[in-house]
Amino acid sequence: MEIILSNRDERLVKDAVKANIGVSAVASRSATHYHSREEQELAVREAIEKARSVSREIPLLIASMAGARGRYIQEAIMGELGIGRGGRNRIVSPTDWDDNHFGDTVIRACFKNLDDNAGTPYVLRMFGELAERRVNNARTRRYIMSYIFDRDPASLEFMAVKYRSKLRDALTHVWGTRMTGAMIEIISKAQDGITDEKSTGIEQSLLGKYLGDSISLVFAELIVLLVFGNYDFLEKYEGGFPVINQFFRAMDNIDGCDLVPEEVLTGLLSDPDHSQHNEYWSTPEKQAATLERIRNKSKVETANQAVRKTKQERERGITRETSRVSEVTDPIALLKTIYENGRTNELYDRVGELAVKASYKDFPYKRIGVIKDRSNSMRGHWQESKNTPRAVVDFMGLVLAQSAEADFSFTSQGGATDLATAFLNLVDTDEDGPPGEYEAIFVLSDGYENTYEGLFGEIVDTYRKRVRDIPIYHVSPIGVSEANARARSLSGAVSITATHKTLPMQVASHLLEADVRKWIENRVLALTGG
Amino acid sequence: MNLANLLRGTEIVRDSDGLYVVQTIHNMAIAFLTCDDQYSLDDRFENPVTALHVTNRNYGHVNLNNKTDKDVIVAPQAAFMTKYAAQNHALPKSAAVPAHSNVDYHDAGCVEGAQGGRLRGDTDLRFVPLSIREMLLQEVNKTGSYSHLYSSVKALGNRTGVGTGTYIDKYYSHDFTRTAGIDLNEFIAHFERPDKTIGVIVLVDDEIIAIDKFPSFRYTAQVWDLLIRDCYGSVAIEAMQSGAPKPTYFTKTLESLTPVDGETPVQLMRRALVETRRSISNRVYDRLVELTTLEFTDERDVNSTDVYQSDVIKSEGYIGQVIRSGDYVHLVSLIKKDKFDPTSIRKVIAARHEYEELAVSQRAFSV
């Protein structure tokens, strides 16, 4: 893979990348205090278009990075799919991008990033927007169908039950209204064993060729029938598909359907024609009681939800087994449970596993110093729920320790926030020898320094003048609502202020400033696995 | 009565090096009082912010009804604010209301200008800003006039740049973020209450302007956020609006130090940091020593009872209130008078010290 960026274009590309890194970290579809939803969307789209006009690869290279927000990734993907071939390539050659499929690799990385970090609803909503924008070229169809049908069967079954209408819209968009009707007829007849060569060919070209290795054509047909509301054939498959079978049963009686998502059950009950509508859903009181019963019995409750309930239930004298710890994906939930209920090896090991998973794969620093704020304000905060800042800081510390060789220093507990002493403890030579030469220092703190305010900035400025210059990253565990990423700055002396979610992007931005060519090479390497 | 009596049983919170823990934002600093556990009467008093049912029969009067099983001591100078159209009132003093009883206060004052309407019991408690607590304390025991607190509210508006007139709710609802770039929520977040805090010593420009001591650790936690926002926040707002620069004690201290042989730059910085902390702690210590020389006169509060004696205390430069049961002090509220210049105390102390040294150096008379 050759980087074709010329010296002349470097500045242009650097500015475009830097601007988009900032946008990608804050992009949101939600209205804020100062901007309507439409204004927000337009701002993101314009930024991406501007970057794409400089060089086509830019928005996608950024959208493939951890830390890019869901809205940005969606717009970057949709923009690329909308233009098809063509566009200016200043970073990699058009041959590599199109013919050698590097563009494809990057788009798939963006899809994965969107799915992993924002979730299935974001991806499916994007398909809906592609339909609204009438983007329906071969590439788009391929990505949509692969996303739906190239996955494990259990995941597809669950998705089909929970997101029936979104999948229906996506397939209708991909096939077109006329061919959708034809497909349903072909598949329905196939259930009765009626096929012919032409039908088989159509089915293969519109469905079969997109199936992953673990998805059979029979199963895919069943999914299609399910999302298009053809339930007649579901009885044939009793026993094989537990979620679908329960869904089918829930259309008449929701009792015992503990594998079906809550939203699906309540959706069924809200239909006045449902046999249990009057009994379970016709008044607000009945709705509340039904919801509580569904939630108590549901096995669909995530492991994350289960681990957070242990405290409430312990207070009520209920012993709940935390057998699903290995399924928990929310490290903050685990840490808060540890603080409140006590540490077990199982809980802490799982936190460690998640830290390994979250570690920065292309972290540019090998040796870092980390200052962790353990003051009282981290335990309770007017902006975040109890212990959340503390949990975020602890987890960030673990992630950084997995990403680089890290030394730690702590503020003292209980009294006040004294980052200055913690900084000097980190960089001081002690009797055992000189400290490692840190390439960067990360300060994990909510930014409220009080002994005294401004002291940390003085210390850092003095250190930079008298010892050496070093990038200082202030990572705040507080998510500020407006702009969603602008954390309270600790001091003008820090290089970058970020939240834990925007840190990867902010580190990237800082490194970009130093060497854009190196940044691009690192991105390309990360994507090609080289 | 002096500071040693008033703050009996308490001490200043210190760090592991024995220095006072002092938190500083802009030119405002707070040191913290603590005590042994047995002197924190956590279970004796109900939450003052939520416990009381406040009504009145006429303007200038409030009735505090405590329907709970515990006594309530209202923290210094509370304002009772309504969400409906009514005449909000403030109390110029702290108050002690025993369990299952109600107490009338006839030296309350209106703080809502020309607004009519009685208090019906569903009021929110707010604290009177520190800037005008002195003015309110001067009005303790003055009955027969509902409007005697209006001048305080107007003064508050003038000092903070909020057009309150005689409507104190305009101050509470004012958006300082928009008009002055000051976020009061952030201000609250800056000051962290150490564990086992039972009171605070508040300094501005290195002068003690307030000392508040509360009945217990829990009580302090219950009033903390509101106290910082409503009461001390007013002082910070004035300071930030004045554009006072942030302190740079460390840099100045570092410049005054001479490196010793073999000392690395970081070691020199560490020495400067320790010295900075020591000087901050010493400044608070010196100010407290000055205050210990003051003697207070006391004037009995009309709402004093056999169990809870309440007195307004005055000295040169300071005014306040103490609520106690015999020699046991529950609550102290001490405010520096606005016009008082503490350098006069320093001159007295310096002179006294000089004469003491002279006296010590004198030989005894001998024939």
Q: Do B250 and A377 count as a contact with CB atoms less than 8 A apart? A: no
Q: Are strands B318-325 and B328-336 parallel, antiparallel or unpaired?
A: antiparallel
Q: Do A466 and B265 count as a contact with CB atoms less than 8 A apart? A: yes
Q: Which residues from B are below 8 Å from A454, CB to CB?
A: 246-248
Residue A152 tokens, joined: 């494990």
Q: Quick one: what percent of chain B has pLDDT higher than 90? A: 45
- Chain A: give the shortest CA distance to residue B15, in Å: 7
Answer whether A386's CB lies under 8 Å from A339's CB. no
Does B248 reach chain A within 8 Å, measured CB to CB?
A: yes
- DSSP letter at B71? B
Give the residue among B192, B189, B214, B210 at the shortest CA–CA distance from B201. Answer: B210
Beta strand ranges found along A434-492 (DSSP E):
440-444, 472-476
Which of A418, A426, A452 should be substituted to probe chain B, the one whose Cβ sees the most B Cβ atoms within 10 Å? A452
Listed by number, the residues of chain B in 21-40 with a beta carbon closer than 8 Å to a beta carbon of chain A are 21-26, 29
Task: Number of A to B CB contacts under 8 A, please give it.
Answer: 97
CB count within 10 Å of CB A247 equals: 26
Does B13 reach chain A within 8 Å, measured CB to CB?
A: yes
Q: Which residues pair with A433 in a beta bridge?
A: A430
For residue B239, give the 3-state DSSP assignment. helix
Q: Searching chain A, which residue's CA lies closest to the CA of residue B263?
A: A429
The predicted structure's pLDDT at residue A238: 60
Question: At what angle are helices A242-250 and A262-269 packed, to 10 degrees?
Answer: 20
Q: What single letter denotes the amino acid at residue A357?
A: K
Give the residue among A169, A83, A179, A167 at the shortest CA–CA distance from A132. Answer: A169
Q: Which residue blocks in A257-344 are alpha helix, DSSP H?
A: 262-269, 277-280, 284-297, 303-315, 331-341
Angle at B28 between CA B27 and CA B31, to 5 degrees: 135
Does B70 reach chain A within 8 Å, measured CB to CB?
A: no
> String of b and e for A96-106 (b: at least 16 CB within 10 Å)?
bbbeeebbebb
- Chain B: give the shortest CA distance to residue A459, in Å: 8
Q: Which residues from A are below 8 Å from B269, CB to CB?
A: 424, 459, 462-463, 466
- Chain A: give the shortest CA distance to residue B40, in Å: 18
Q: Do B21 and A451 count as a contact with CB atoms less than 8 A apart? A: yes
- Chain B: give the shortest CA distance to residue A252, in Å: 50
Residue B51 tokens, joined: 């416990």
Of B186, B192, B247, the CB nearest to A416: B192
- Chain B: give the shortest CA distance to residue A430, in Å: 10
For residue B167, give the 3-state DSSP assignment. strand
Q: Searching chain A, which residue's CA lies closest to the CA of residue B249?
A: A455
Q: Searching chain A, which residue's CA lies closest to the CA of residue B24?
A: A452
Of A376, A452, A455, the CB nearest to B192: A376
The predicted structure's pLDDT at residue B35: 96
- DSSP letter at B130? G
Name the CA radius of gyration of chain A, rounded.
26
Helix (H) or strand (E) holding B259: none
Contacts of A345 (CB under 8 A, 6+ apart): none
Q: Searching chain B, which residue's CA lies closest to the CA of residue A466?
A: B265
Which chain A residues touch B if contact means CB-CB below 8 Å? 375-377, 381-383, 412, 414-417, 420-421, 424, 427-429, 446, 448-455, 458-459, 462-463, 466-467, 488
Answer whether B121's CB lies under 8 Å from B54's CB. yes
For residue A507, give the 3-state DSSP assignment. helix
Sites in chain A below the pLDDT cut of 50: 31-34, 431, 433, 480-486
Answer whether B108's CB lies under 8 Å from B88's CB. no
Does B191 reach chain A within 8 Å, measured CB to CB?
A: yes
Answer whether B190's CB lies under 8 Å from B183's CB. no
Q: Which residues from A are below 8 Å from B225, CB to CB?
A: 382
Distances (CA, A) of B134 to A273, A412, B76, B201: 71, 37, 11, 16
- DSSP letter at A379? T
Q: What is the rounded CA–CA span in Å between residue A14 and residue A109?
A: 22
**pLDDT tens digit sequence for B320-341:** 999 999 999 999 999 999 888 8
Q: Do A377 and B273 count as a contact with CB atoms less than 8 A apart? A: no
Q: What is the rounded CA–CA span in Å between residue A226 and residue A234?
A: 8
Max distance between CA atoms of chain B, in angstroms, equals 84
- What torsion do the CA atoms of A18, A23, A26, A32 make, to the nearest 10 degrees? 140
Distances (CA, A) of A229 to A155, A169, A222, A240: 19, 12, 11, 19
**pTM score > 0.90 for this model?**
no
- Chain A: give the shortest CA distance to residue B31, in Å: 11
Distances (CA, A) of A199 to A192, A224, B250: 14, 16, 82
Of B15, B16, B25, the CB nearest to A450: B25
Does B195 reach chain A within 8 Å, measured CB to CB?
A: yes
Answer whether A3's CB lies under 8 Å from A520's CB. yes
Residue B295 tokens, joined: 């003697």
Per-residue HEC secondary structure of chain B comes to: CCHHHHCCCEEECECCCCCECEEEECCEEEEEEEECHHHCCCCCECCCCCCEEEECCCCCCEEEEECCCCEEEECCCEEEECCCCCCCEECCCCEEECCCEEEEECCCEECECCCCCCCEECCEEEECCHHHHHHHHCCCCCCCCCCCCHHHHHHHHHHHCCCCCCECHHHHCCCHHHHHCCCHHHHHHHCCCCCCCCEEEEEECCEEEEEEECCCHHHHHHHHHHHHHHHHHHHHHHHHHCCCCCCCHHHHHHHHCCCCCCCCHHHHHHHHHHHHHHHHHHHHHHHHHHHHCCCCEEEECCCCCCCCEEEEEEECCEEEEEEEECCEEEEEEEEECCCCCCHHHHHHHHHHHHHHHHHHHCCCCCC
Of A376, A415, A459, the CB nearest to B15: A415
User: Read out DSSP for A227-243?
Assistant: HTT--TTGGGGTTT-HH
Q: Do A463 and B269 count as a contact with CB atoms less than 8 A apart? A: yes
Q: What single letter denotes the amino acid at residue A519?
A: W
Q: Searching chain A, which residue's CA lies closest to the CA of residue B194?
A: A415
Cis amide prior to B167 (ω within 30 degrees)? no
Q: Do A412 and B250 count as a contact with CB atoms less than 8 A apart? A: no
Answer whether residue B134 shows pLDDT above 50: yes
Q: Which residues pair with A151 in a beta bridge?
A: none
Q: What is the rounded CA–CA span in Å between residue A425 and residue A408?
A: 9
Q: What is the rounded CA–CA span in Å between residue A444 and residue A395?
A: 10
Q: What is the rounded CA–CA span in Å between residue B129 and residue B124?
A: 15
Which of B12, B190, B206 should be substituted to probe chain A, the one whose Cβ sees the most A Cβ atoms within 10 Å? B190
Max distance between CA atoms of chain A, in angstroms, equals 84
The predicted structure's pLDDT at residue A414: 61
The predicted structure's pLDDT at residue A101: 85
